[in-house]
Amino acid sequence: MQVTMTINGEEVSREVEPRTLLVHFLRDHVGLTGTHWGCDTSNCGTCVVWIDEEPVKSCTHLAAMAGGHAVRTVEGLEVDGELDPVQEGFIQCHGLQCGFCTPGMMMTARALLDRNPDPDEATIREAISGQICRCTGYSTIIRSIQWAASKERETAVELAGASNEGASA
């Protein structure tokens, strides 16, 4: 069957078997290997991508079901060569060791910060509770997300300051 969806803002269409899972559609048919394929049982969360701005586990989702929807993968975090603050946070705070869980962790983190710009540690832990870091590097992952949150709040304050100056000028 023909499956057409938007991936990171671009329309993509492929002929696939109806049983094709979204994670394999992205990796094997579209060549976006940033999304990782892990446990295959919706436990580990390394395959998390967004569908219409909501994180979902792409190993337990048919590509056909995503037809007509907007998918965002880890490749879509970087915009015009500029890293997302979540990606920067993972660099600054050593949020990855082997890197296998990282794409899913970052997509879930991005969704969390879009809804809650100032999550406390318990909220972050709850948000990533469906994801497994087999290096057990959870503390640095949490610090990375906190780093991104605080950077974004600072940027928001700066932007607000700049626009106030603009208004008074």
Partner 1 sequence: MQVPAPFEYERATSVDHAIELLNRLGSEARIIAGGHSLLPMMKLRMAAPEYIIDINDLSAELQYINISDNEIRIGALTRHQQLLESDELAAALPIFRDAEKVIADPVVRNKGTLGGSLCQADPSEDLSAVCDALDASCVIKGLDGERMVSMHDFHRGPYETAVADGEMLTEVRIPLRPNSSSAYHKVERRAGDWAVASAGAAVTMDGDVIADGRVGLCAVGPNLTNIEPISEALRGQAPSEELYARVGQIAADNSSPNTDTRGTAAYKTHLAKELTIRSLRKAVARATGTDTGAVA
Rounded to 10 degrees, the C-alpha dihedral 117/115/77/96 comes to 60
| Shortest spacing between CB 41 and partner 1, in angstroms | 6
Could you count the other beta carbons within 10 Å of the beta carbon of residue 49?
28
Shortest separation between residue 58's beta carbon and partner 1, angstroms: 10
Nearer to partner 1, 42 or 150 (CB): 42
CB of 108 to partner 1, least distance (A): 6
Residues 6+ apart with CB under 8 A from 55: 48, 49, 107, 108, 111
**CB of 3 or CB of 148, closer to partner 1:** 3
Binding site for partner 1 (CB under 8 A): 1, 17-21, 24, 40-43, 45, 48, 54-57, 60-62, 64-65, 67, 108, 126-127, 129-131
Q: Whose Cβ is closer to partner 1: residue 123's or residue 155's?
A: 123
* Least distance between partner 1 and beta carbon 55 (Å): 5
**Residue 153 structure tokens:** 């709040």
**Which residue do the tokens 């436990």 mark?**
43
Distance between CA 14 and CA 66 in Å, rounded? Answer: 12
Q: 25 or 154, CB closer to partner 1?
A: 25
